[in-house]
Amino acid sequence: MSTGGSLPKASVICAAVLLLGIFVLYHYQSGGCPKLYTVLTGHVAGTAKSNTGDEVTRGDRISESNTGDEVTRGDRISESNTGDEVTRGDRISESNTGDEVTRGDRISESKTRRHSSHRNRLSGSPGKLQRLPRALIIAFSKCGTSTLRSFLTLHPDVVAAPREVRFFNVHFSEGVDWYRRQMPYSSPGQITIEKTPGYIKSIDTLQRIHTFDPDIKLIAIVRNPMTRLQSSYAHRAARHKRYARMGFLKWLSSGAELEKRVKHGSDFVSKIQMVYRVFPEDQLLVLNEEALESDPVTLLNQVYSFLGLNSSISNDVLVFDERKGFYCVNKTHPIFPSLRGLVNKSDGCMRAGKGRKHSEVGGALLQEIVDISRPYVNKLFDVIRTKFNWTYF
């Protein structure tokens, strides 16, 4: 080797460059790492259901998007090679994989149809794309929004962003393409939903949502203020020893905060009226958390109908867990294996922390809380023209 002149040296470099080129070409055409990752993690295209749950880890999301990436990237390369995508030719960039900026769903659906045979050849997963939400759970914190989101994905036509994206209230400057990239992969017939309880808190946020999509469906879930206070406390106590040591009653009655705390926990109605100032009333569905606990299937089917979905889910999908005191997914139901990541695999229930024990309250303090809450509750029932069967109210 060392005795070689400049000519052999040059040919070694040439050969190396050539090999590298071939490797790079092969790597991209075969899907490269994504495919390997898919094999290693056992994720196959078409298991997007697992992407909808609460417990989806970053690893899950990466492998999911890799699975999808394999398709889009393959598409993009072959499109620019064959030139059958002339109109989008000058837009080959990251945003190209996420289709056009607004109203992307319809556009991407037609794109999907055009290329479905191609996609099928590549991955066997036709039309899986990240799509913008068509419905939002916008309220209220500590009222079962996580459970509602997870249970809604029991319907095969509903997928949900696994986390609170907080796009319209916090990350709006990131842009709609960023928002889309937070969404799970879905098929053309599926509805994507997203849940961020903070969306109802300001009129600016609601107006942004309206500008984004004036026809978007909105869902709010409300709860007996007393139970909500107990849940608020249980949530805090589970996180901070300070609150756990304090106890519910002490937390409630610590100084002049009681009235503020109770009002804050009871005043659903002013936020709901704010929604009505921006959206037609029939675009907001107001649900009762107690119904989600006591008769979830009926409530879910009410939501599916609100979302414009034809079919419903049957009663045997959820079963009442006597020990825990709430509904869990039926482990022997055929749908159960597809819910990986949505619920605890061993018992079909929501992850630990949901359904925490609530501290009791009684006597004069109870009466004081009820007195502060009652005007808000009565006004709520007036405004939504529905009366929920809430203890004390």
Ligand X SMILES: *[C@@H]1O[C@H](CO)[C@@H](O)[C@H](O)[C@H]1NC(C)=O
Strands 135-139 and 217-222, by their bridges, are parallel
Q: Is 250 annotated to bind ligand?
A: no
Q: Is 357 annotated to bind ligand?
A: yes
- Partner residues linked to 159 by β-bridges: 192
* Measured distance CA(301)–CA(312) in Å, rounded: 6
- Least distance to ligand X, CB of residue 179, Å: 25
Of 118 and 354, which CB lies nearer to ligand X in the complex structure? 354
Residue 130 burial by Cβ neighbours in a 10 Å radius (0-12, 13-18, 19+): buried
Of 1 and 352, which CB lies nearer to ligand X in the complex structure? 352
Question: Which of the residues 49, 128, 142, 195 is marked catalytic?
Answer: 142
Q: Quick check: is 345 catalytic?
A: no
Q: Strands, E, within the chain: which ranges?
A: 129-130, 135-139, 158-160, 185-186, 191-195, 217-222, 284-288, 318-321, 326-329
Q: Is 223 annotated to bind ligand?
A: yes
Of 350 and 369, which CB lies nearer to ligand X in the complex structure? 350
Of 207 and 330, which CB lies nearer to ligand X in the complex structure? 330
- Helix, strand, coil % (nearest 5) of the chain? 55, 10, 35
Q: 2: which residues sit within 8 A by CB, 6+ positions away?
A: none
Q: Is 327 annotated to bind ligand?
A: yes
- Least distance to ligand X, CB of residue 20, Å: 46
- Least distance to ligand X, CB of residue 162, Å: 16
- Least distance to ligand X, CB of residue 386, Å: 13
* Measured distance CA(48)–CA(321) in Å, rounded: 27
Of 139 and 317, which CB lies nearer to ligand X in the complex structure? 317
Q: Is 179 annotated to bind ligand?
A: no
Which residues sit at the interface with ligand X, rule CB under 6 A?
A: 310, 316, 319, 330, 332-333, 344, 346-347, 351-352, 389, 391
Strands 135-139 and 191-195, by their bridges, are parallel
Q: Strands, E, within 95-181: which ranges?
A: 129-130, 135-139, 158-160
- Alpha-helical segments (H) within 42-115: 58-82, 94-97, 104-114
Q: Is 355 annotated to bind ligand?
A: yes
- Least distance to ligand X, CB of residue 292, Å: 14
- Catalytic positions, written as ranges: 142
Which residues are known binding-site members?
A: 223, 231, 327, 354-358
Which residues are known binding-site members for 3'-phosphoadenylyl sulfate?
A: 223, 231, 327, 354-358
